[in-house]
């Protein structure tokens, strides 16, 4: 696995974890914020209802002695009707006044949890006493509840004794319920109901507005880091690695492969030849009387001879032939798809080139060539040794000649 892949995996995992933590935190915060916003709206609605009720109590003067009773004179009725008109454009929003003993049975506290809330207020078992607003969340709905406590004596004109109540009201609602209230008694609750679906929609919309820019920022940061990684780290590292690889695999004097790289390539070519059942030959040659060149003309001139020889041989090779310097003045060639006869033909061409080369300010030199062809079983070391022995046989035969070892090597 490359460094870039590892870096990107770590980066992606880090970003994914950061995104998960950020979105989880932000989602919770957005949900809290939108819930608080919905609560604020509900509180404003409840305060509006209280304001309407207060205004109606102060400015709507009912004549309770008249025979013709009008519900519009009752502050509670005016408040509920006004809030009903207000909430017509807001589905799910609702204002209600529910009591345990109502005059109008439509305002009866029927749901068990509402009755429990009222009883808790009446018994003092709730921490929210005396006009404090209580919040309840039930069935994906927010309820803001405020106790109705009798503080105004005008309420007793209708809800005290039946005998004192307006005759027109008794005819409409009867004389069995809605009476017997007492001062400072909690008789019911005012409630604003708000659906939480709106809160969820707002939360989801806000979360979407947050999520995609965050993903875009992470993507931009990911791309930027990769670009910086490429230009500031990988490119210099690749150049350094190429330089180190050249130093490790290239002969610094001639620019061709060194012995280490040659042996690695040797192994690969043997595997390819075995797989394809094709011939593979190796040609080794050594410069004749090279020591005399160094002794007579100096090592700088000897180095020049080695460089010129390497260039001369490279110019005569095929694209898949491999040339290496494996010793002081000893060179080797890997010849894929080449039989002994083909290797001998190449060696003869190289021998003649070297024999007739013209080196400016440098002494000409010849070479002794040894050839061995792989039998498909022997090791590279054994094959190279056979070629080397053939090269020494060429030197023993008078130099500037070619010897091919056509014997069969033993299986190693």
Strands 322-325 and 134-138: unpaired
**Residue 207 is assigned to a structural domain of this protein:** no
329 in active site:
yes
In a domain, 67, yes or no: yes
Any long-range contacts for 336-341 (C-beta under 8 Å, 24+ apart)? 336/269, 336/272, 336/273, 336/278, 336/280, 337/278, 337/279, 337/280, 338/279, 338/280, 338/281, 338/373, 339/279, 339/281, 339/373, 340/281, 340/371, 340/373, 340/404, 340/406
The dihedral region occupied by 322, where left means phi > 0, alpha psi between -120 and 50, and beta the remainder, is beta
Range of the domain at 56: 3-201
Among 133, 166, 201, the domain-final residue is: 201
Question: 108: helix, coil or strand?
Answer: strand
Domain count, the chain: 2
Which positions ≥6 away from 145 have C-beta within 8 Å?
A: 117, 133, 134, 135, 136, 189, 190, 191
Same structural domain for residues 300 and 178? no
Is the residue at 43 inside a domain? Answer: yes
Among the three residues 170, 201, 232, which one is the final residue of a domain in this structure? Answer: 201
Q: What is the pLDDT of residue 90?
A: 86
CA 411/CA 392 separation, integer angstroms: 23
Q: Comparing C-alpha atoms, which of 208, 228, 209 is closest to residue 220?
A: 228
Token pair 């009008």 in the structure block, residue: 70
Q: Which CATH number is 391's domain given?
A: 3.30.70.270
Asked if 225 contacts 219 with a C-beta cutoff of 8 angstroms, the reply is no
Catalytic residue among 41, 97, 269, 329: 329
Per-residue pLDDT, 15 = 85
pLDDT of residue 277: 92
pLDDT of residue 411: 40
Structure tokens, 257: 């492969």
Q: Which of 201, 234, 269 is the last residue of a domain?
A: 201
The answer to whether position 238 is within a domain reads no
Are residues 51 and 120 both part of a single domain?
yes
* Pair of tokens at residue 328: 């002081």
pLDDT in tens, the chain (412 residues): 777 788 888 888 988 898 888 888 887 887 788 788 888 888 898 889 889 888 887 776 655 555 567 777 788 888 888 999 988 888 888 999 999 999 888 889 899 989 988 888 888 776 554 447 888 888 788 888 989 888 877 788 788 888 888 888 888 888 899 899 999 899 999 999 988 876 777 777 777 787 888 888 888 988 898 888 888 887 888 888 777 777 788 998 999 999 999 999 999 999 999 999 999 999 999 999 999 888 888 888 899 999 999 999 999 998 899 999 999 999 999 999 999 999 999 999 999 998 887 655 566 789 999 999 999 999 999 999 999 999 999 999 999 999 999 876 444 3
* Residue 268 within a domain: yes
Give the tokens for residue 163. 């005998």
CB 254 within 8 A of CB 307: yes
Residue 218, in any domain of the structure = no
pLDDT at res. 410 = 40
pTM over 0.75: no
Check: CB of residue 154 under 8 Å from CB of residue 57. yes
């Amino acid at each position: 696995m490359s460094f870039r892949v590892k870096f990107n995996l770590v980066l992606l995992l880090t970003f994914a974890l950061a995104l998960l933590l950020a979105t989880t935190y932000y989602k919770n915060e957005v949900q809290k914020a939108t819930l608080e916003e919905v609560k604020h709206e509900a509180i404003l609605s409840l305060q509006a209802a209280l304001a309407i009720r207060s205004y109606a109590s102060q400015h709507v003067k009912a004549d309770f002695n008249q025979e013709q009773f009008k519900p519009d004179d009752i502050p509670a009725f005016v408040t509920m009707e006004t809030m009903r008109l207000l909430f017509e454009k807001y589905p799910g929003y609702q204002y209600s006044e529910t009591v345990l003993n109502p005059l109008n049975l439509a305002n009866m506290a029927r749901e068990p949890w509402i009755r429990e809330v009222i009883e808790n207020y009446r018994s003092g078992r709730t921490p929210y006493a005396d006009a404090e607003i209580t919040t309840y969340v039930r069935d994906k709905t927010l309820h803001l509840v405020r106790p109705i406590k009798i503080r105004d004596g005008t309420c007793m004109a209708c809800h005290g004794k039946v005998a004192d109540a307006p005759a027109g009201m008794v005819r409409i609602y009867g004389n069995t319920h809605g009476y017997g209230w007492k001062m400072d008694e909690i008789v019911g609750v005012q409630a604003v109901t708000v659906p939480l679906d709106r809160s969820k929609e707002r939360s989801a919309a806000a979360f979407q507005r947050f999520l995609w820019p965050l993903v875009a920022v992470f993507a931009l940061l990911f791309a930027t880091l990769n670009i910086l990684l490429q230009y500031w780290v990988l490119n210099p590292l690749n150049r350094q690695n190429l330089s180190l690889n050249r130093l490790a695999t290239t002969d610094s004097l001639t620019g061709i492969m060194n012995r280490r790289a040659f042996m690695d390539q040797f192994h690969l070519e043997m595997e390819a030849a075995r797989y394809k059942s094709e011939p593979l030959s190796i040609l080794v040659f050594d410069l004749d009387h090279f020591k005399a060149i160094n002794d007579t003309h100096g090592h700088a001139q000897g180095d020049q001879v080695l460089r010129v020889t390497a260039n001369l041989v490279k110019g005569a090779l095929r694209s898949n032939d491999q040339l290496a310097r494996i010793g002081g003045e000893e060179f080797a060639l890997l010849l894929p798809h080449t039989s002994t006869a083909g290797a001998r033909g190449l060696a003869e061409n190289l021998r003649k080139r070297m024999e007739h080369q013209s080196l400016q300010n440098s002494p000409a030199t010849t070479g002794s060539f040894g050839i061995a062809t792989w039998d498909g079983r022997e090791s590279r070391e054994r094959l190279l040794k056979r070629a080397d022995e053939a090269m020494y046989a060429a030197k023993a035969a008078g130099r500037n000649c070619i010897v091919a070892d056509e014997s069969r090597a033993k299986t190693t």
